[in-house]
Structure 1
Amino acid sequence: MLKICHAEYELIELEAQNAAIRHLLAKPDAPRVPEVVPSLNGRDILTITVREQDYLVRLLGFLPGRTLTQRKHLPQAAAAGLGALSARLARDLADFEHPGLHRHLQWDLRRAGPVAVQLLSAITDHEARDRIAKAMVAAVKRLQPLAAGLRVQPVHHDVTDDNVVSHPDAHGQQVPDGVIDFGDIIQGWLVGDLAVTCASLLHHADGNPFYILPAIKAYHAVYPLQEVEAKALWPLIVARAVILAASSEQQLAIDPDNEYVRGNLDFERQIFDVATGAQPDVMEAAILRTIGFDVAPLATEGWSALLPDIDRQQIAAIDLSVTGPDFVDANWQKPDMDWRLLAQTAIASGTAATRYGEFRLSLATPLSMAPPENFALHNDVCLPSGSTVAAPFPGLLQRQGQHFVLVGEGVSLHLDGLDSALEDGAAIEQGATIGTIGSEGSAIGGLRIQLCRVPSLVPPLFATADQADGWSAICPSPIALLSASCEAPRPDASALLSLRNARFAKPQKHYYETPPQIERGWREFLFDMHGRCYLDMVNNVTTLGHAHPRLTTAIAHQWSLLNTNSRFHYSAVAEFSERLATLAPEGLDCVFLVNSGSEANDLAIRLAWAHTGKKNMLCLLEAYHGWTVASDAVSTSIADNPQALTTRPDWVHPVISPNTYRGPFRGPDSASDYLVDLTEKLQSIDEKGDGVAGFIAEPVYGNAGGIALPHGYLARAYDAVRQRGGLCIADEVQVGYGRLGEHFWGFESQDVVPDIVTIAKGMGNGHPLGAVITRREIAESLEREGYFFSSAGGSPVSCVVGLTVLDILRDEKLQENASVVGDRLKAGLIELMDRFPLIGAVHGTGLYLGVEFVRDREALTPATEETAAICERLLDLGVIMQPTGDHLNVLKIKPPLCLAPESADFFVRALEKALQDGF
């Protein structure tokens, strides 16, 4: 990298940059930096003359990696990585010394105030100048009492998205690890260095200033900040935003046609708007809490009763959280549901209150790409009409209609719902009556209570989860005026995950590195403990959708009657077996009931062995059939088991995957080419004289993303196997039961009838239920080895679950919905292909679809890391999605069959946003 600058540039400053790079290269754990390449005569910096103009020239090595420039969205991992990189750099520069660091630089935040004044003088846009000036005055006012305590050291002062390079982590997200520009290195405020980094992130923040908190946390973990520095950080971020905006506005005033300035102007205006739009006290509190400092608790000692007529200990707190017991069948979506529950409880108990610090389920927002504002910063109290409300501390009363604010020493009390004759501006003594509750003719009334530390602020009633720490410090809990039960415990998903990891066996994986704690579902939606609503696009277990009320009622009723094993005689097992047999093709008239797809496939293989007296089984590469010994043996997906291809027992004979998209033969008419391998495997078995027990395959290539098999493949494969006395097993665990829309069974798409059908997953809607359907003579072959028994398979509850699922599938026309909504969803995904080359193909039918990502549509290079990052980004946008396929480069789209058209459209929009804005 050849760097050229005008000769007017101070040579000592360039020498300082080179010296800093060499200093870092000598550090064992320093960030990556480019090498300084000396000239042939050994000098680092040369002077050259071009057209009578002198220039200073130096050569730096190229630093490989991807930049973060021009990306609208940066994931949290990248933001945190930028903070950690800034900290590592500052830590390793702390003992660096050079005279070239002591210079006057426009970007030095120690001089932000005077620099802003100088820049403002040249700005002709009066409105812009006034906004910039006011922001700087406010920032300097907060900084002045802190400045003397801020550490000074050598700082890079420009670790921004423009000046770093990155590498992808295990989840495909770019993590910054190298720095490429030392042009602003100075002796300056340490925390000012971090402020520069944080400010650069604000144009990636989608308007949310709290987006920078992971960067600050990561910085502090590497190079701890002092409390005074944490308090100075936000005003320094605002100061940096002001200097950026003022500099650009000044440049435009001087040179309106400067394309470079215009190219950066939108970003810098976004940074300015986000920085100046945030409440500074809230941001300071959020920063302090993020890195382990806390805000001093509110002093409530000596406060008198707010509700002198009420026994505080008798206030009944209601649970409006995600796990609230009064929320059933989506009643939380009804208008004023929170108030209805509050009033019901108050009527029963006398006085009731909502809980401060609770993530309200009623404010969860389905089909939203942003988290809800549902963290309660107040309490609502329902109490007898006529109850007195008194001042817990002395203060001045501010009144706007029915909204009252008692402004005391360092705290304000906001009250709504009072009947009061007091005037605005009245001085109130502690214990004096402010007003009463309720109106004439009403038995109960409501009072809203909120505390706030900032006298001039009208605080919001709710905050988002990521803002909760900041806002709860400024609007502390009013439980000192109520009771301890009126504050909700904060959910701690990380502590719960630690407990899970400590006791739950490690091979039992979970989705996502940092998974949300999901505790409620409804239809195609899942809710975490923060009330975030996610669209569930991967859960093919819940065919009907989550928490179907009809199924819930049926299970509860049957469990209240009987649940035992299938060797007892009861109606449900006979009715369910008959129902399944009638759904299968003619001749498949015998049913086994088990608990899972793995057990169903295992049993199917045992049936093939018992009926044929042979052992050899054929299966397809890239397939997954289960975790039991037999079903795992015929599973060859290396995504599920990296050792799959080298650990199959000798009775398993995998054949080439008939993958019509990326296999050796492409297109729907490639059956003959793929059957060559299957035929050769059969001939090899023939030559050994061992015989064939059977062939197991999904009729649609599920694990590869719902890829259709070539036309006629199964028919000819089945013929070849049956000619040798083998049985053909259709694994319908994932693709059957109406999921394909046009067909109830996957094998119908290939115009074949298998000898054995295995099903599970969706047939129980999450209840452990599986089945094997076959011919009677095959089923009875097993008796030669003894009888078959499954304790819970076919239990009364399981059978009622199975019958009810089939009833609902029929009554709610969910197979038809899978066809109609699936076609709509697939069409929307195909439209994205024209705009985003990363999408190589859209596979599948109905509501079993797969979007395959490739880096090159000709070479079909799997975009594995990108797919992982896209799934993480979709989680941010409110969609649950996971990768599948041997290369983990296919989106596994298998939502509940109740998926609504608007939900399908939302998924397409979310994927579009992820691909458009970055991931």
Structure 2
Amino acid sequence: MSSTQHQPASPALTTLIQRSGLPSPALGEVQAHAVLQTHYGIAGNLSPLGSQQDLNFRVDAPQGSFVLKACHGSYAQLELEAQHAALAYLREQGLPVPSVRPASDGQMLLALEIDGQPLRLRLLDYIEGEPLTRLKHMEPRLMAELGGLCAKLDKALANFDHPGLARTLQWDPQHAQALIAHLLPVLQDSEQRARIEHATRQASERLTPLVAHLPSQAVHLDITDDNTVWARDAQRQWQLQGVIDFGDLLRTWRIADLSVTCAALLHHAEGDPLRILPAVRAYQALNPLSEAELRALWPLVLNRAAVLVLSSEQQLAVDPGNQYTRDNIAHEWEIFDTATAVPFALMEAAILQAASLQPATPDLSGCAPLLPELDGQAVARVDLGVLSVHCEAGNWEQPGFDQHLLTTQPAPACSLHGQYRLSQTHIDRPEEPATCALGVELHVPNGSLVQAPDASTWQRHGDGRGCLRSAHWALWLQGLEDTPADGQAVEKGQSLGSSCGFLSVQLCLDSSIQPPFFATPSQAPGWLALCPSPAALLGFDCNAEPLPDPQALLARRDASFARSQKHYYAQPPHIERGWRNYLIDMQGRSYLDMLNNVAVLGHGHPRMVAESARQWSLLNTNSRFHYAAITEFSERLLALAPAGFDRVFMVNSGTEANDLAIRLAWAYSGGRDLLSVLEAYHGWSVATDAISTSIADNPQALETRPDWVHPVEAPNTFRGRFRGADSATDYLRDVDAKLADLDARGRQLAGIICEPVYGNAGGISLPAGYLREAYAKVRARGGVCIADEVQVGYGRLGEYFWGFEEQGVVPDIITMAKGMGNGQPLGVVITRREIAEALEAEGYFFSSAGGSPVSCRIGMAVLDVMQEEGLWDNARDTGRYFKARLQALVDKHPLAGAAHGSGFYLGLELVRDRATLEPATEETMTLCNRLRDLGIFMQPTGDYLNILKIKPPMCTSRASVDYFVDSIDRVLGEGL
């Protein structure tokens, strides 16, 4: 590779400008058919393919699918031969590119005159697939794939040479400035023209000193979402099929190739240019770039964005009927807008960091202290981070929380540079909150002297605010009195005024920008490189401790925690705090929690904190001791149960509750055989796992049932064998068959266990009358009826307190856990005296922590809060609104097959076909991952993992419901 700079000669520039104004060639379908028949012996169907200056047809013929490409006869044959040679060269190296099909006489390239128009034509293989141009959301993996593909092609082409590579092309970045200057007048809007002039002038200033250090080689120069074709695999993941369109192949700077790819990706960056960094990382990992190339990357991207816009505007001026150009121009303006959305210096720093290079930092060791009167004093470091002890019960939501807290600390006190502050989080919004502090706030004595650290110039920016600019940095200050005049030069150590008691300090290495005081987590590394800590100017440590590495922590978990205990998501956020219906990661992002049916009151509820702390300070022991809480809680639980229920067992979990219910059924009936419902989950103990038949929770569930478990057909009124609310009789036939078999074998039935609302399927109601008839049949044989209310009971359904109320039945045993302790391990079995006492014949029952004083006090507090805060009413009223909004999704999106459930136990089932109900398993997982990107936690459930089981804290508001449903609507609209 050479590193010589090429400046286009005047004739070359003339050619360049002429080419930039050429319309597409004219070639009708009749003419194209004639060319194919005459020169290739092919007859087939033609479909036009878009192009800016060429003309392309897809050809579907018995011999296969091809692309007929036509370009102006003025295009040099040598250039086209270079493209053909490169295709053959890359195919030899195993890269997925099309081959050129020879004409009947062996020619690879036809030179024809059609209607007096000289054209060059060739036929290439068509690679099946589709481009990603119109993909509404591009995940980081795909951006990395494109960056990696660009690296692979550049690496492969490094030693490729051909005379046709020496060409003048409007897309060659070496000519960008000349072309931009020529095309700018095409813009009639003076504001647009000024924006392009400013951005490209800045790019030129950065690029000029780097040009001599940029190596050149053969490059594709158009590795984009439009010139790569993809297909979805069985998991609905996009996989590369091939690279097309080598029309821009030439020799130029190597970094130009990546700049084109990055510019194209800006269309998918949703307004944030840093989203393209995965492409840079992937390229650097495969084909390392020099520092000069990395610094040149963003100037080239800016120029590319400008050329795209201007070229399309020019093309429309000369060829207004070109629909391809007309369709593209909006997203080319989007590319330019995104490229200029953040300061140039930030992108340069972020690109260097993506390539594992850190920008240089200035030496501040010779500076005078900014606050000389604090010299030698101890300065209190005030923690404002996610885990701060100062943050409790949502007080961080109060306006001015940080400043109030700082000013209530004895002076001097400071916030911490680089800390992710909890006060800066936000809720029910898709974008990241700007939480990372790029400066420091100080509480200092009123009138404290503030002096210039070095020779600089003071620039006033409002009352008490200004910027001190030196040769190497800018220092932004707020909270000063008696400042110098605007534009005044100050010497090192000269007074800048006195502090008002609260001082904000921010250092920035780029004096041309005014940085934000807070940065989003994704942009924080780049901003922190531009806005380093002012500790050296302050004279004391004001730096936040680095956050734990979430990947290292996850690796430690995997190394010590049994792997069968899974975590949500492949790369889960690091969550250490919760508040109401949100979970908050260590960088201060709040995630809407739509799957946590344990924290019914919400996370971090102050009543739970107070109750547990109070009782722990008094006593926590086992239930064999005599204390009031266990009696009081048992009485309250019985008051919630139907008449006739008079005994309570306390355990630690739903699994233990269901396990104990099975033992009670055995003891009372004298039998062992139990009916359970297919596709249900009841727990993890030996007995509850035996009756659980959900293959989502245990893929071997159906093959490992012991002979005392008799699964009956799941009465799934949506996708079961029988549909609709009146299908009870059909499903009961399987109950009858199982009971008849037991009768024939003379086996005593112990009972039936069933969720009164079909939980794992997303809250589907059982067909009307199903439990009434099933219970009667079981009781007629001496069995007991167990209602597993662990997921659906305790008011979560909104319309009913217990799930069995919907069926109009009363069970013999009720099991409950989950939310009744708001996260405290707590489960109960509620039953009648005669059933409870049947267990005594087998010995006494005891649970060490079940019914402990702490658990009982928390259990009662949960009931109090539910009543006081109207959470049962909220589950009913907001739940009805929620269900209606989900139903509207079903009416709008074919993929949304059905909305199930009620209250805050809802399900959205995704199907690929409304008639066959083919489960949309992969799409559901993609949806859940995308929702996480938007700040929402949701997971798939059901035997086919195609159901969103929606069971949020019961304090969830309508605003959160709207955000959740709107986000699903958005993602479904993006296409899965």
Q: TM-score, normalised by structure 1?
A: 0.95
The reply to whether residue 357 of structure 1 matches residue 386 of structure 2 is: no
In structure 1, C-alpha distance between the alignment counterparts of 2:556 and 2:235, rounded to whole Å: 23
Deviates more, 1:547-556 or 1:306-315: 306-315
Of 610, 620, 628, the match for 1:563: 620
* Contact 1:77/1:173 (<8 A) preserved: no
- Call closer, same or farther: CA 1:588–1:47 in 2, change over 3 Å: farther
- Call closer, same or farther: CA 1:333–1:127 in 2, change over 3 Å: closer
The reply to whether residue 371 of structure 1 matches residue 437 of structure 2 is: no
Aligned to 1:426: 488
In structure 1, C-alpha distance between the alignment counterparts of 2:376 and 2:809, rounded to whole Å: 72
CA deviation digits over 1:204-255, x for unaligned, max 9?
A: 2221111111221222222222222111111111011011011012123334
The reply to whether residue 662 of structure 1 matches residue 662 of structure 2 is: no
The reply to whether residue 757 of structure 1 matches residue 823 of structure 2 is: no
In structure 1, C-alpha distance between the alignment counterparts of 2:85 and 2:628, rounded to whole Å: 85
In structure 2, C-alpha distance between the alignment counterparts of 1:514 and 1:408, rounded to whole Å: 43
Aligned to 2:455: 394
SS for the counterpart of 2:93 is coil
Residue type of the partner of 1:520? R
How far does residue 431 in structure 1 lie from its aligned partner after superposition?
1.9
How far does residue 641 in structure 1 lie from its aligned partner after superposition?
1.7
- Call closer, same or farther: CA 1:761–1:40 in 2, change over 3 Å: farther
Residue type of the partner of 2:275? Y
> How do residues 110-149 of structure 1 correspond to structure 2 at under 5 angstroms?
110-149=174-213
Aligned to 2:611: 554
> How do residues 522-561 of structure 1 correspond to structure 2 at under 5 angstroms?
522-561=579-618
* Contact 1:132/1:245 (<8 A) preserved: no
Of 79, 88, 101, the match for 2:152: 88
- Call closer, same or farther: CA 1:646–1:88 in 2, change over 3 Å: farther
> How do residues 153-192 of structure 1 correspond to structure 2 at under 5 angstroms?
153-168=217-232, 172-174=236-238, 176=240, 178-192=242-256
CA deviation digits over 1:125-160, x for unaligned, max 9?
A: 444333323322221221111122223222222121
Aligned to 2:21: none
In structure 1, C-alpha distance between the alignment counterparts of 2:97 and 2:814, rounded to whole Å: 60
> How do residues 671-682 of structure 1 correspond to structure 2 at under 5 angstroms?
671-682=728-739
Of 529, 542, 564, the match for 1:486: 542
Residue type of the partner of 1:465? P
The reply to whether residue 271 of structure 1 matches residue 335 of structure 2 is: yes
SS for the counterpart of 2:393 is coil
> How do residues 341-740 of structure 1 correspond to structure 2 at under 5 angstroms?
341-346=405-410, 350-400=411-461, 401-438=463-500, 445-482=501-538, 485-491=541-547, 492-740=549-797
How far does residue 605 in structure 1 lie from its aligned partner after superposition?
1.6
SS for the counterpart of 1:218 is helix
Aligned to 1:769: 826
Residue type of the partner of 2:273? P
- Call closer, same or farther: CA 1:524–1:44 in 2, change over 3 Å: same
In structure 2, C-alpha distance between the alignment counterparts of 1:780 and 1:526, rounded to whole Å: 43
- Call closer, same or farther: CA 1:67–1:658 in 2, change over 3 Å: farther
CA deviation digits over 1:851-880, x for unaligned, max 9?
A: 111122112121111111111111121211
- Call closer, same or farther: CA 1:136–1:677 in 2, change over 3 Å: same
* Contact 2:343/2:513 (<8 A) preserved: no
Residue type of the partner of 2:467? V
In structure 1, C-alpha distance between the alignment counterparts of 2:400 and 2:167, rounded to whole Å: 62
- Call closer, same or farther: CA 1:815–1:217 in 2, change over 3 Å: same
Aligned to 1:441: none
Aligned to 2:884: 827
* Contact 2:127/2:241 (<8 A) preserved: no
In structure 1, C-alpha distance between the alignment counterparts of 2:458 and 2:235, rounded to whole Å: 55
In structure 1, C-alpha distance between the alignment counterparts of 2:666 and 2:615, rounded to whole Å: 37
* Contact 2:669/2:783 (<8 A) preserved: yes
In structure 2, C-alpha distance between the alignment counterparts of 1:60 and 1:636, rounded to whole Å: 54
Of 55, 63, 70, the match for 1:5: 70
Residue type of the partner of 1:467? Q
Aligned to 1:287: 351
In structure 2, C-alpha distance between the alignment counterparts of 1:170 and 1:405, rounded to whole Å: 57
SS for the counterpart of 1:309 is helix
Which one scores higher on RCO, CA 8 angstroms, separation ≥ 6?
A: 1
Of 258, 261, 270, the match for 2:325: 261
- Call closer, same or farther: CA 1:58–1:594 in 2, change over 3 Å: farther
In structure 2, C-alpha distance between the alignment counterparts of 1:598 and 1:718, rounded to whole Å: 22
* Contact 1:171/1:869 (<8 A) preserved: no
- Call closer, same or farther: CA 1:53–1:823 in 2, change over 3 Å: same
Deviates more, 1:479-488 or 1:332-341: 479-488
How far does residue 695 in structure 1 lie from its aligned partner after superposition?
1.6
How far does residue 642 in structure 1 lie from its aligned partner after superposition?
1.8
In structure 1, C-alpha distance between the alignment counterparts of 2:812 and 2:539, rounded to whole Å: 67
* Contact 2:433/2:588 (<8 A) preserved: yes
Residue type of the partner of 1:429? E
Of 844, 854, 860, the match for 1:787: 844
In structure 2, C-alpha distance between the alignment counterparts of 1:642 and 1:106, rounded to whole Å: 58
SS for the counterpart of 1:146 is helix
Q: TM-score, normalised by structure 2?
A: 0.90
Of 895, 901, 914, the match for 2:971: 914
Aligned to 1:742: 799
In structure 2, C-alpha distance between the alignment counterparts of 1:313 and 1:693, rounded to whole Å: 76
In structure 2, C-alpha distance between the alignment counterparts of 1:483 and 1:662, rounded to whole Å: 69
- Call closer, same or farther: CA 1:254–1:577 in 2, change over 3 Å: same
In structure 2, C-alpha distance between the alignment counterparts of 1:167 and 1:575, rounded to whole Å: 62
> How do residues 286-325 of structure 1 correspond to structure 2 at under 5 angstroms?
286-311=350-375, 314-325=378-389
Structure 1: gaps (5+ residues): 439-444
Residue type of the partner of 1:381? L
In structure 1, C-alpha distance between the alignment counterparts of 2:479 and 2:104, rounded to whole Å: 82
How far does residue 172 in structure 1 lie from its aligned partner after superposition?
4.7
Structure 2: gaps (5+ residues): 1-65
CA deviation digits over 1:585-644, x for unaligned, max 9?
A: 222221111111111112212222222232222222211111111111111112222222
How far does residue 456 in structure 1 lie from its aligned partner after superposition?
2.5
Of 885, 897, 921, the match for 1:840: 897
* Contact 1:387/1:436 (<8 A) preserved: yes
- Call closer, same or farther: CA 1:110–1:640 in 2, change over 3 Å: farther
- Call closer, same or farther: CA 1:603–1:92 in 2, change over 3 Å: farther
Residue type of the partner of 1:469? P
SS for the counterpart of 1:888 is coil
* Contact 1:313/1:483 (<8 A) preserved: no
How far does residue 183 in structure 1 lie from its aligned partner after superposition?
2.6
Residues matched between the structures, number: 908
Residue type of the partner of 1:434? L
CA deviation digits over 1:247-287, x for unaligned, max 9?
A: 01212333445432221111011111111232111110011
